[in-house]
Structure 1
Amino acid sequence: MAGTQPEIRTFLCRSDNIGVLIRDPATGACAAIDVPEAAPVLRTLAETGWRLTDILVTHRHADHIEGIPEVKRATGARVTAPAKAAGAVPDVDVTVSEGDTVRVGDLVAQVWETPGHCADHVTYWFREAGIVFAGDTLFTLGCGRVMESPPETLWHSLTRFLALPDETQVFSGHDYVLANARFALAADPANANVKARMVDAERAQREGRFLIPSALGTEKATNPFLRSTEPALARSVDLTPGGDPTAVFVALRAWKNRF
């Protein structure tokens, strides 16, 4: 990818949230993607010596925003949040909507509205860097639980990721990889790529790692929700291959809810 390549740190927050810092080495500007918990963010800043300038909020759920007040007090970082969530996110300085751009130094991200998990969810796509921060919309081997809309809304949001280059690195908001891998195997048992990914997930758990970020090309090959257009996934939910992928997605999401 062209342009400035950012420095990134990922770390665990709470029990399974993924904290992320992204820094522009040219300017020193640094952003946290959500603040699930203040202490891990502040600790990583201290370890790296980075200065936090921005907090980019993906959605209003408490496990993504509850650390914001403490981190903002400690750093003075500017808080950017979805316009549709502004009243629920603390200490907001800037609101964004579909088509807006945000800057972290020389790094530029396009804002997508990606509802489905919740109505106010946004995604930050750093096109030049080849990075997308998907929050709780798209996970490694999975997708978010539908909470405030018909499941068709989440499918529409997910189709936007399918148009991105395979090398795009997807950062998601939680480490659900092992549970997602088990479901992917159940839904797509003949997929050799999924079997290999299950091995990767088990190894990562043993070694205390998480498989985040994940290359979008890998997700296209292994994530059952992104593969709702594939005949194998239609058959797995007793639907006719070649039919409406939306119906396949809806059935897969309902199955995952019970899994």
Structure 2
Amino acid sequence: MPIEIRQFPCLSDNYGYLIRDLESGLVATIDTPDPGAINNELESAGWKLTHILNTHHHFDHAGGNLALKEKWGCQIIGPKNEQEKIPGIDRVVGDGDVVELGQSIAKVFDTPGHTLGHIIYHFEDDAAAFVGDTIFAMGCGRLFEGTPDQMWSSLQKISSMPHETKLYCAHEYTKANAAFALSVDRSNAALQARAKEVDSLRAQNLPTVPTTVEKELATNPFLRAEDKSLQANINMDGASAVDVFAKTRALKDSF
């Protein structure tokens, strides 16, 4: 059953997402970055919030949980490996679990790295994945809690999804990510073209999200650790994918 998705800016660079199951009318917010913005979007759509789907515990993702639960009485679903850090959580989920929003089904994937308990929600029938801070357009989340090996494994789960899958990232970081990507993958023609496209979109204050698995495989340096040209650019010729990823992430941290 199709879902309707509404995307809107929150805070300084977050995106909020409301998803509505068309048959039942049930509505979920992906994370709770800004309760005021979420309530305004609900009012504009004429929707009532029934669920909160948290990806991880950071304040700009779960900080609005209690305010929204008090107003709407909604059910809060979140990562079992961070349950003690998720305000108001009602149901815990992890790798392989299923979340039903009416007739719409999301499969849960554990994606540790940014945080140890991070999860994402993949609505396969709708070719949509809500990926929190695991992956961004031409970027990935900073490794606050996890290891490079964990994050590389998490990114492989996303990159193995069907190429047309839309990735709804939590932040508008794309222009800065493109600048870094060009610094380590400068001979990538697809990346060069995409960076120009991003500059044009941001000049018009238009979103660069969602992205797709196909775009990320072609232009995201954090998915391209096995590319010989990228390896050469960062002096990691022939190194393991995890080691190349780790070096790339370290370079981004100091970029």
TM-score by length of 2: 0.97
Q: Distance in 2 between matches of 1:216 and 1:106?
A: 25
**Shift in Å, 1:162:** 1.6
- CA offset digits 1:59-88 (Å, max 9, x no partner): 001111111111111211110011111111
Taking the TM superposition and a 5 Å limit, the aligned residue runs for 1:13-32 are 13-32=10-29
Taking the TM superposition and a 5 Å limit, the aligned residue runs for 1:101-120 are 101-120=98-117
Q: Matched residue pairs, number?
A: 255
Q: Distance in 2 between matches of 1:46 and 1:203?
A: 31
- Identical-pair percentage: 38
Q: Distance in 1 between matches of 2:206 and 2:153?
A: 31
Letter in 2 for 1:164: M
Aligned equivalent of 1:219, options 216, 220, 233: 216
**Shift in Å, 1:15:** 0.5
Q: Please name the residue that 2:69 is paired with.
A: 72
Letter in 1 for 2:87: P
**Shift in Å, 1:114:** 0.5
Letter in 2 for 1:240: D
**Shift in Å, 1:147:** 1.0
Taking the TM superposition and a 5 Å limit, the aligned residue runs for 1:236-247 are 236-241=233-238, 243-247=239-243
Q: Distance in 1 between matches of 2:175 and 2:48?
A: 33
Q: Distance in 1 between matches of 2:224 and 2:47?
A: 39
**Shift in Å, 1:39:** 0.6
Q: Please name the residue that 1:258 is paired with.
A: 254
Q: Please name the residue that 2:97 is paired with.
A: 100
Q: Is the 8 A contact 1:177 1:210 kept in 2?
A: no
Q: Please name the residue that 2:132 is paired with.
A: 135
The yes-or-no answer on 1:248 pairing with 2:213 is: no
Per mean C-alpha deviation after superposition, the further-off stretch among 108-117 and 146-155 is: 146-155
Q: Please name the residue that 2:145 is paired with.
A: 148
SS of equivalent to 1:158: helix
The yes-or-no answer on 1:83 pairing with 2:80 is: yes
- CA offset digits 1:32-57 (Å, max 9, x no partner): 00001101100000011112111000
Q: Is the 8 A contact 1:116 1:148 kept in 2?
A: yes
SS of equivalent to 1:86: helix
**Shift in Å, 1:153:** 1.1
Q: Is the 8 A contact 2:32 2:38 kept in 1?
A: yes
SS of equivalent to 2:223: coil
Q: Please name the residue that 1:63 is paired with.
A: 60
Q: Distance in 2 between matches of 1:56 and 1:107?
A: 14
**Shift in Å, 1:228:** 1.0
